[in-house]
């Protein structure tokens, strides 16, 4: 019997899944971690922690499943996007990785915009220039930590580091590379135009593979650390958005996913790179350099629920979901703007923070929790509206991420979008997508499409919108947008005041 392994490096945890070739999950092992935030707006993590989580979960998944390591035919990866890992010539990290949710590089973002101008940004980047993306984070290191910058020899994305520790090969893939702001999305290679203009050496950046290309084999050392067999094929993998889309069977035009992970995304598949003159969505490569996705992204989705749970000292998701279900739509007249770590689509503004509007003496923790779930869904609705405005359509919307474990949150989303939602049968769609890539790269599946046909199944549950709830939410959605427009200025001022105190 053959088995496949998929490893997803998330923002708050790393998960390893083993499945058989029909997509039956045999084991999932996870390790949670927290990123460090030494200053307000900073988000960084030591890549060694990711590798440790990878070793522990791989060994644990093998142990739980009882599958002999030689039966694992291939391994692949899914990873949190945009962040930068910098290695010196001895392959050691020169400093902690700077993550996608890091807001320190506001000045470098402005410098890139000033230096290149909006016309070139539209043409070369096809994406908004935003903090937390690899290029501005790298420029921050150049300006603020010149000693570290001088030591850099290799630059890569987070999951590329764990693939490197597994294989000894430094590489990236089109989907993740296209989300760095250093890549030519249309041609599918590192952009000499961008890098030369900003005086960043092109040779920092590794060779790129397609998601299903072989990128090496497990080394003797990694075999000792993970329990895998040396020589096992390692397949490149891709960005979490692309791998999760594969794990949801969302692989061609007409499909879209809405993900509530730590951050949140609405992701449409497209047959060509979609230009957005307003630059408030992202256009990235898909699982090969001739596939694309258009994405609206929010910064704090599951993170918002995690935050309110922490504040209200709620630890049990079952209870959280039960209490939120007992509150009527609208949370008793409470709106939440989930801009805890700034916002990408549609505002592209790192200098925002969150807002509760409508607190009163009867507002309790259940109302606050439900308002947070609703606020996240309103922000994702914003993403959908922008994508629709670009002409993107979907016949199927598939809900994914940790938030899809919550039935009330799924219903809130469906009611707010006014759309039915399908949910994949496995809770770890990005891992499943990575395992499908592993199966494709090792020839078990003929293609990613074939892998999806064989391994992706949906839950026997389609969440459908309630018309009356949708009507109520339309009014709240109008006020949600209005609340931002009316208070943006003051939110920015308060945010900056708060940052100055840190
Ligand atoms: N049972 C649940 N009910 C409600 N929300 C949940 C549940 N499980 C996870 N979540 C939400 O999902 C988030 C984690 O999603 P996940 O996709 O695992 O994130 P990541 O890949 O970023 O680590 C949590 O922060 C939480 O908000
Ligand atoms: O930022 C994006 C997409 O632009 C995310 O896909 C991140 O890569 C992290 O995802 P989560 O770990 O928050 O789900």
Domain segments of the chain as ranges: 1-502
Mean pLDDT of the region 104-132: 95
Whether 109 and 353 have beta carbons less than 8 Å apart is answered as no
Q: Which two tokens stand for residue 200?
A: 């960043």
Residue percentage of the chain with pLDDT more than 90: 90
Rounded to an integer, the average pLDDT of 22-49 is: 94
308 — phi, psi (to 5°)?
A: -70, -35
pLDDT at 129: 96
Contact 291, 363 (CB under 8 A): no
pLDDT at position 500 over 90: no
Nearest ligand 2 atom, CA 295:
4
Residue 483, class by beta-carbon neighbours within 10 Å (0-12 exposed, 13-18 middle, 19+ buried)?
buried
- 350 CB within 6 A, ligand 1: no
First to last CA, the chain: 56
Percent of the chain clearing pLDDT 70 (strictly above): 100
Q: For residues 126 and 171, is the Cβ–Cβ distance under 8 A?
A: no
pLDDT of residue 252: 83
Of 222, 244, 242, 224, residue with least CA distance to 233: 222
Ligand 1 pocket residue status of 402, Cβ below 6 Å:
yes
Which residues are near ligand 2 (CB < 6 Å)? 10-11, 80-82, 100, 240-241, 261-263, 265, 297, 401
Using the 8-state DSSP alphabet, how is residue 343 labeled? B
Please tell me the predicted confidence (pLDDT) of residue 87.
98
- The ligand placed nearest to the CA atom of residue 309 is 1
Largest CA-CA distance found in the chain, in angstroms, rounded: 63
Q: Looking at residue 502, what is its pLDDT? A: 55
31 lines ligand 1 (CB under 6 A): no
Radius of gyration, alpha carbons of the chain: 22
C-alpha to C-alpha distance for 157 and 162, rounded to whole angstroms: 10
pLDDT tier at 426, thresholds 50, 70, 90: confident
| ipTM above 0.85 for this complex | yes
Q: Quick one: average pLDDT of 452-473?
A: 95
Q: How far is the CA of 236 from the centre of ligand 1 (A)?
A: 26
What integer pLDDT is reported at residue 501 of this predicted model? 64
CA angle (230 as vertex; 229, 231 as ends), nearest 5: 110
Residue 59 dihedral angles phi and psi, to the nearest 5°: -60, -40
Q: Output the CA–CA distances (angstroms, integers) from residue 44 to 24, 54, 170, 261, 346, in the order listed.
A: 35, 18, 21, 18, 25
Question: What span, in angstroms and rounded, lies between the C-alpha atoms of 474 and 336?
Answer: 15
Ligand 1 pocket, 408 CB below 6 A? no
**What spacing in Å lies between the alpha carbon of 80 and ligand 2's midpoint?**
5
Q: Tell me what pLDDT residue 180 has.
A: 98
Mean of the pLDDT values across residues 130-137?
Answer: 96
pLDDT, tens digit, for every residue of 37-46?
998 789 999 9
Q: Kind of pairing, strands 183-184 and 189-190?
A: antiparallel
Q: How far is the CA of 70 from the centre of ligand 2 (A)?
A: 32
pLDDT given for residue 427 in this prediction:
84
Contact 285, 291 (CB under 8 A): yes
Instruction: Using the predicted structure, report yes or no on whether residue 395 has a pLDDT greater than 80.
Output: no
Per-residue pLDDT at 491 exceeds 80: yes
Residues 173, 237: contact at Cβ < 8 Å?
yes
Would the CA dihedral through 222, 227, 230, 233 be positive or negative?
Answer: negative
User: Which residues are identified as catalytic?
Assistant: 240
Closest C-alpha among 343, 349, 368, 365 to residue 357 = 368
Lowest mean pLDDT of 283-297, 305-319, 369-383, name the range.
283-297
Give the C-alpha separation, 500 to 134, whole Å.
25
Residue 232 has pLDDT above 60, yes or no: yes
Lookup: tokens for 411: 């219903």
Residue 127 has pLDDT above 60, yes or no: yes
pLDDT band at 291, cuts 50/70/90? confident
Q: May I ask the CATH class of domain 1-502?
A: alpha beta
């Amino acid at each position: 019997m053959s088995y496949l392994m998929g490893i997803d490096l998330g923002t708050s945890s790393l998960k390893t899944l083993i499945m058989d070739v029909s997509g039956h999950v045999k084991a999932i092992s996870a390790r949670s971690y927290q990123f460090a935030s030494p200053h307000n707006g900073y988000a960084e993590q030591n890549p060694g922690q990711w590798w440790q989580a990878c070793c522990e979960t791989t060994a644990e998944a093998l142990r739980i499943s009882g599958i002999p390591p030689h039966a694992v035919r291939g391994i692949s990866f899914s990873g949190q996007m945009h962040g930068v890992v910098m290695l010196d010539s001895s392959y050691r990290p020169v400093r902690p990785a700077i993550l996608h949710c890091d807001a320190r590089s506001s000045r470098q973002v402005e410098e890139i915009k000033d230096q290149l101008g909006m016309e070139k940004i539209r043409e070369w980047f096809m994406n908004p220039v935003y903090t937390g993306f690899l290029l501005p984070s790298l420029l921050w290191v150049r300006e603020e930590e010149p000693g570290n910058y001088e030591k850099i020899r290799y630059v890569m994305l987070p999951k590329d580091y764990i693939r490197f520790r597994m294989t000894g090969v430094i590489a990236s893939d089109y989907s993740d590379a296209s989300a760095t702001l250093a890549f030519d999305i249309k041609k599918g290679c590192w952009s000499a135009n961008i890098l030369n203009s900003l005086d960043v050496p092109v040779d920092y950046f590794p060779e790129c593979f397609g998601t299903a290309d072989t990128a090496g084999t497990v080394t003797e050392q990694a075999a000792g650390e993970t329990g895998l067999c040396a020589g096992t094929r390692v397949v490149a993998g891709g960005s979490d958005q692309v791998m999760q889309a594969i794990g949801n069977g969302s692989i061609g035009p007409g499909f879209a996913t809405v993900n509530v992970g730590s951050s949140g995304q609405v992701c449409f598949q497209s047959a060509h790179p979609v230009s957005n003159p307003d630059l408030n969505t992202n256009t990235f490569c898909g699982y090969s350099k001739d596939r694309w996705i258009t994405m609206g992204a929010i910064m704090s989705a599951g993170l918002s629920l995690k935050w309110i749970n922490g504040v209200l000292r709620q630890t049990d998701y079952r209870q959280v979901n039960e209490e939120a279900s007992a509150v009527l739509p609208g949370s008793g007249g409470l709106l939440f703007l989930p801009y805890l770590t700034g916002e990408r689509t549609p505002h592209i503004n790192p200098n925002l923070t969150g807002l509760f509007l409508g607190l009163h003496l009867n507002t309790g923790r259940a109302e606050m929790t439900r308002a947070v779930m609703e606020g996240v869904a309103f922000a994702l609705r914003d993403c959908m509206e922008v994508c629709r405005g670009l002409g993107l359509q979907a016949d199927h919307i598939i809900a994914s991420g940790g938030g899809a474990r919550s039935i009330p949150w799924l219903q809130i989303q469906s009611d707010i979008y006014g759309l039915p939602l399908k949910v994949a049968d496995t809770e770890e769609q990005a891992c499943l997508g990575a395992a499908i890539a592993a199966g494709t790269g090792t020839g078990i599946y003929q293609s990613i499409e074939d892998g999806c046909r064989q391994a992706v199944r949906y839950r026997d549950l389609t969440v459908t919108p309630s018309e009356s709830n949708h009507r109520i939410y339309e009014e709240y959605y109008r006020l949600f947008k209005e609340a931002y427009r009316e208070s943006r200025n003051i939110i920015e001022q308060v945010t900056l005041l708060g940052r100055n105190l840190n």
